[in-house]
Structures are given as C-alpha cells and as structure tokens.
Amino acid sequence: MTPFELQRRGMEVLIRELGYADATRFMLQFSKGKGDYTKERRKLLAGVTLNDLLEATEARLSSARAGAKRAAKRGRKSA
C-alpha cells in the first residue's frame, strides 16, 4: 500500500466511524509543526543534568502522593 492509499483508507475509516465533522476535528489536531525541535530542546535543556531531572521528577511524585493521601483522607471523613 502506498502512503497515498494508506492516507485515503485511513480517512475513509475515520469518516465512517466518526462522521465528517469529527473526522475533520480529529485530523486538525495533528500538524508537522515548525521550527527545529532538536535545537529548541538543546537550548531549553542546556546545563540541565540527569540528576536535575531525577530530582525534579521525585519532587513532583512526592507532591502528587501527598495530595492523593490528603484526598483519600477527606474521602474517608465524608463517607
């Protein structure tokens, strides 16, 4: 199957399953974008170490866990 045939068949399935309006809305969510992702990522992460990322991740996880515990306690109190 050529790329064109794949695209045509994919659109046929989307239209059949979602209808024209929702198939169009679905397709509009995707674009090739612009700019150079690699250059932008390198600039954004310049000087950031793996350890920095791990620490930030752990901090977010700890915060999320604490929030979940608080929510669970509130849920038990109202039950």
Domain ranges for the chain:
1-30, 36-79
Query: In this predicted model, what pLDDT tens digit does every residue of 17-37 receive, in sequence order?
Result: 999 999 999 999 987 778 898
| Nearest residue to 14 via CA among 5, 26, 6, 23 | 23
Instruction: Grade residue 76 by pLDDT with cuts at 50, 70 and 90.
Output: confident
Name, in order, each residue with C-beta under 8 angstroms of 12's C-beta and a sequence gap of 6 or more. none
What dihedral do alpha carbons 63, 64, 67, 73 form, nearest 10°?
A: -120
CA gap 26, 24 in Å, rounded: 5
pTM: 0.44
Residue 46 confidence (pLDDT): 95
Query: From CA 37, how far away is CA 43, in angstroms rounded?
Result: 10
For residue 20, the model assigns a pLDDT of 95
